[in-house]
Amino acid sequence: MKRIAIDIDEVMADTAISHLELFNLEHGDNVTLEELQGTTLVNIRPERREEIESYYESEQFFRQLSVIPDSQEVIRELQKHYEIFIATAAMEVPASFRAKYEWLKEHFSFISDNHIVFCGDKSIIHADYLIDDNVKQLNRFQGTGILYSAAHNIFETGYTRVNNWLEVQELLLGERAEVSR
Amino acid sequence: MKRIAIDIDEVMADTAISHLELFNLEHGDNVTLEELQGTTLVNIRPERREEIESYYESEQFFRQLSVIPDSQEVIRELQKHYEIFIATAAMEVPASFRAKYEWLKEHFSFISDNHIVFCGDKSIIHADYLIDDNVKQLNRFQGTGILYSAAHNIFETGYTRVNNWLEVQELLLGERAEVSR
């Protein structure tokens, strides 16, 4: 059975949109999602770098993130045909460990603890596929990388790109369907 | 550069001895390290399973563990010749995340966050070597497993075994010295 590793932030969890909404609300700002395309909030409001980054120091921030549409259903379906591991770069934000774990237990209770990985550099991940929004991680990964579209990566080329979970389903279950014919 | 993944409990941290000492102290017992050879504390005192396992639910337990002799010096030396990743099965004990991270930062500050992995099943680890006391993990690992001796594994055979960190040094730096001749 082939193995798929899946990132959390921007792939399973709506991290950037939640971040933007909280920032706008708490700082009386009105940066739009359109402005974020191909860039980051820090690039748009460099003078507020400290406030912007402070959200990532907050355990609560990671606990309340919304689930990306269709991710639960598609991952549950993928699990019938692949070994599914969750691989999140949690080491960048030690405050997030517990919150990320509890978030997974709440929203993806069908993933066993044994298949959850908190790491930094994802070259350590031994899997056939990695679905991630971060091209640096995809570049270091030894298997086949799949770029999950996020505002910050829309101008990246050279990767198999998926724009939503239905496209993941088509790519990874469609491919399997062909193989098993 | 080849890559070595290293387990924490019973390899870098003196988990079982610390566990035994705390149990004896807090329960007025006197189980010896000799009695633990080839077995576990729960097997010796099955009627106290709950108290014995409760230590692993305590964040403080993991934070105060002693470092296994020579591990700091040898890992620092290995780091000159190999990529070193720390891979601990922290998912079994979510209470341990923060404590294990802080323990590493205190005692192994020369290991970068990027090279720390909290996982469950170590078949997800992509490395050339895994140094671990747990034969189940070594069996699932795809690279070369190295069994670090611990009381519970003394009767296991069929693995390259190291009894202390000086033997790790000899095995992995001796081998390298030969290769580079």
A140-167: pLDDT as tens digits:
999 999 999 999 999 999 999 999 999 9
SS3 B76: helix
Q: Are A116 and B120 contacting, i.e. CB atoms less than 8 angstroms apart?
A: yes
Residue B166 CB neighbour total at 10 angstroms: 13
Q: Are B147 and B139 contacting, i.e. CB atoms less than 8 angstroms apart?
A: no
Find chain A residues with C-beta within 8 A of B121's C-beta.
114-115
Confidence of residue B179 (pLDDT cuts 50, 70, 90): very low
Contact (CB<8Å) A119/B117: yes
Q: Which residue of A has its CA nearest to B117?
A: A119
**Beta pairing partners, A87:** A117
- The conformational region for residue B97 under phi > 0 = left, psi -120 to 50 = alpha, else beta, is alpha
Find chain B residues with C-beta within 8 A of A144's C-beta.
none
Give the whole-angstrom CA distance, residue B128 versus residue A21.
44
Task: Report, as an integer, the average pLDDT of B92-115.
Answer: 93
Q: Name all domains of chain A by residue range, CATH numbers in brackets.
A: 3-14+66-180 (3.40.50.1000), 15-63 (no CATH)
Residue type, A85: F
pLDDT surpassing 70 at residue A60: yes
Give the whole-angstrom CA distance, residue A70 versus residue A13.
11
Residue A95: which of A67, A62, A137 has the closest Cα?
A62
pLDDT per position as a tens digit, B73-103: 999 999 999 999 999 998 888 888 999 999 9
pLDDT per position as a tens digit, A7-25: 999 999 999 999 999 999 9
Q: How far is A75 from chain B (nearest CA, A)?
A: 18
Instruction: Record the tokens describing residue B89, joined without a space.
Output: 């099965």
Residue B131: which of B149, B156, B113, B117 has the closest Cα?
B149
Contact (CB<8Å) A97/B97: yes
Task: Report, as an integer, the average pLDDT of A81-94.
Answer: 93
pLDDT surpassing 80 at residue B176: no
Question: What are the φ/ψ torsions at residue B141 (nearest 5 degrees)?
Answer: -65, 140
Contact (CB<8Å) A94/B101: yes
Which segment of A18-22, A91-95, B11-15 scores lowest on mean pLDDT?
A91-95
Residue A176 has what pLDDT? Answer: 59
Find chain B residues with C-beta within 8 A of A127's C-beta.
124
Give the whole-angstrom CA distance, residue B63 versus residue B78.
25
**Beta pairing partners, A96:** none
